[in-house]
Amino acid sequence: MTGVPNQETAPDDGQSTRGASYAEAGVDIDAGDRAVRLFGPHAKRASRPEVLGGLGGFAGLFSLRGNYREPVLASSTDGVGTKLAVAQAMGKHDTVGRDLVAMVVDDLVVCGAEPLFLQDYIAVGKVVPETVAELVKGIADGCVEAGCALLGGETAEHPGLMEQSHYDLSATGVGVVEADEVLSPDRVRPGDVVIAMGSSGLHSNGYSLARKVLLEWGHMDLGGHVEEFGRTLGEELLEPTRIYAKDCLALVAETDVRTFAHVTGGGLAENLARVIPEGLRAELDRGTWTPAPVFQMIAQRGRVERLEMERTFNMGVGMVAIVAPEDTDRALAVLTARHIDSWVLGTVKKSHEGRDSAGEADLHGEHPRF
């Protein structure tokens, strides 16, 4: 009979007749319940008026109330990647949740969608309630910053599959945009201006390379102070990914934005090329900004070639907006007022004759002092 241990699967010590338990198999239901009690207050503060009900249901409910004419739902799923290894090594778990939110909502806003809600998935080797609560706190912090609700999630204990101290994070977010306001490559025109928004550091991409160069090859200490950073290496590597969602929506409200590009894996040129239509190219000038010292350190200590750096890391540009040329100054003013470092990165032009007709993004020049 399924689920009933026999003599071969249930050890007999000659003393006890008690059968196996879930806790003995590595899953602690009580610890999971305690984690829920600890992170509950964090999850509750990441809400919106449209959320129906509370925590504990089998599904999260969200009402699309409002004056939408023809609403289109947008969805995005992402994770944090091996940046989590740094958090686990440092025992600092309260910021990577913000990274998770950023990676999801900053993808959503590329099409002009307002992030509505997010659902997370936390996989752990062993539930440590305090650690799970810190993770959810970071996720809730990110949701509040992005203006979306933390509608629900799942914490799963995976004994035998993951080491006890390890965890992984992923999330899916949903946003909404009016059908006739969806931002897309077909809105881009020759003469449009490419505006860069500065990143807060590595964000959440390229950490496998960064860790290999700085920790494995360079034998650097996460707790060691680094003069170039003005803080420890671990603090630099755990700097949260910037959340641009509200800043991008403010640009959409006040300027003629053609589209955005979220600069993640693949780097600036590859991600920008995804929103450039056939027959056009974006010409970008490396000389308009200087990447932060962490990029230079990785490049020099790992002897990483420029092309490899630029296809792996954001190099200091976390989000790009393509705007109508007459709105350039206004767009820069809006971002400056919102404390976002921004500058004109380049322009959109027609592709050269004889070149591939697919959209392109070309980087020219050299970074100063890099």
Confidence at residue 36, expressed as pLDDT on a 0 to 100 scale: 67
Confidence at residue 18, expressed as pLDDT on a 0 to 100 scale: 63
Residues of the chain with CATH 3.90.650.10: 185-364
Confidence at residue 103, expressed as pLDDT on a 0 to 100 scale: 98
Query: Taking Cα atoms as reference points, which of 158, 83, 80 lies closest to residue 120?
Result: 80
Confidence at residue 27, expressed as pLDDT on a 0 to 100 scale: 64
Confidence at residue 3, expressed as pLDDT on a 0 to 100 scale: 38
Question: What's the pTM?
Answer: 0.89
Confidence at residue 47, expressed as pLDDT on a 0 to 100 scale: 81
Confidence at residue 38, expressed as pLDDT on a 0 to 100 scale: 62
CATH number for the domain whose boundaries are 185-364? 3.90.650.10
Architecture of domain 29-51+71-181: 2-Layer Sandwich (3.30)
Residues of the chain with CATH 3.30.1330.10: 29-51+71-181
3-class DSSP assignment, residue 102: helix
Confidence at residue 2, expressed as pLDDT on a 0 to 100 scale: 34
Averaged pLDDT, groups of 10, the chain, 370 residues long: 37 56 64 65 77 78 86 96 97 97 98 96 91 94 96 90 93 96 96 98 97 96 96 98 98 97 95 94 95 97 96 97 98 98 97 65 88
In SS3 terms, 4-48 reads as CCCCCCCCCCCCCCCCCCCCCCCCCHHHHHHHHHHHHHHHHHCCC
